[in-house]
Amino acid sequence: MTTLHSHRNDLSAFVAQVAREVIRRLRESQATACESSGENPSGEKLITLATLSGYADDRQVTLAPGGVVTPAAREEAARRRITFSTSPGVPAITASASSAAIASPQSILTEQLARRGVSIPAATEIIWTDQPAAEVYARCSIGRRAVLISAIGDVDRFATELSPDVWILDQQKLNLVAAVNAAARIARLANHSPGDAT
């Protein structure tokens, strides 16, 4: 259990480190570009949620050339009807260019399954979460057959016992590799019709 927690913490630390490095490099390249051109561009170099707190709703925010807007800030700006403008011909860089640094665990799982060519049937839902009990409760509350998977061996066992349509993968017990393997196994079982050979 401690090993799995350490894998999760290692992944979180790595993601945070990548995000910091991307932002540092963007700031560095912006400063170098300004120094070499002798310009002092007006506008924000980096827009985050904290930056937006200083702006009123329905406002236009000017970005410095090559300015970066984080995905969370872009969503908040859309909600508050804040728009961004840049110097003509110089696009803003969204932090989604480094999607690995900001992607949710669920989207990472989905991407890994797609890379393997694993397709999940429409009637089957697979969720990789750090709040598995709450997810199981929520799905069962609306009449779904949900199970909690904390080990790959649970997949075959629960498929036989319950034939669930919602599979909740415990992020605290299953690292990314284990979650992808479990999801692939779930997909194979869900795609398997009773007349097929195993």
Q: What does the mean pLDDT of the chain come to?
A: 76
pLDDT in tens, 74-117: 888 888 888 877 655 444 444 443 433 445 778 888 888 888 89
Q: What contacts 153, CB < 8 A, 6 or more positions away?
A: none
94 and 141 belong to one structural domain: no
Domain for residue 62, yes or no? Answer: yes
Same domain, 50 and 71: yes
Strand segments, DSSP code E, in 153-195 are 166-170
* Residues 118, 80 within the same domain: no
Q: Is the overall model pTM greater than 0.75, yes or no?
A: no
Q: Where are the beta strands (DSSP E) in 82-175?
A: 83-85, 93-94, 125-129, 146-149, 166-170
Domain that holds residue 33: 2-98
Q: Which residue has the higher pLDDT, 126 or 106?
A: 126
The percent of residues in the chain predicted with pLDDT above 70, rounded, is: 73
pLDDT at residue 39 is higher than 90: no
Per-residue pLDDT, 167: 95
Residues 118 and 82 in one domain: no
Residues 144, 182, single domain; the answer is: yes
In a domain, 197, yes or no: no
Q: Is residue 185 part of a domain?
A: yes
- Over 90: is that where the pLDDT of 17 sits? no
11 plus 94 within the same structural domain = yes
- Residue-wise pLDDT tens digits, 40-70: 445 777 888 888 888 888 788 887 776 778 8
Which among 144, 152, 153, 149 is positioned nearest to 127, based on CA atoms?
A: 149
Same domain for 143 and 81, yes or no, is no
Please tell me whether residue 19 adopts helix, strand or coil conformation. helix
Range of weakest confidence among 94-98, 154-158, 166-170, 191-195: 94-98
Of 83, 98, 113, the one marking the end of a domain is 98
Same domain, 140 and 175: yes
Q: Is residue 58 part of a domain?
A: yes
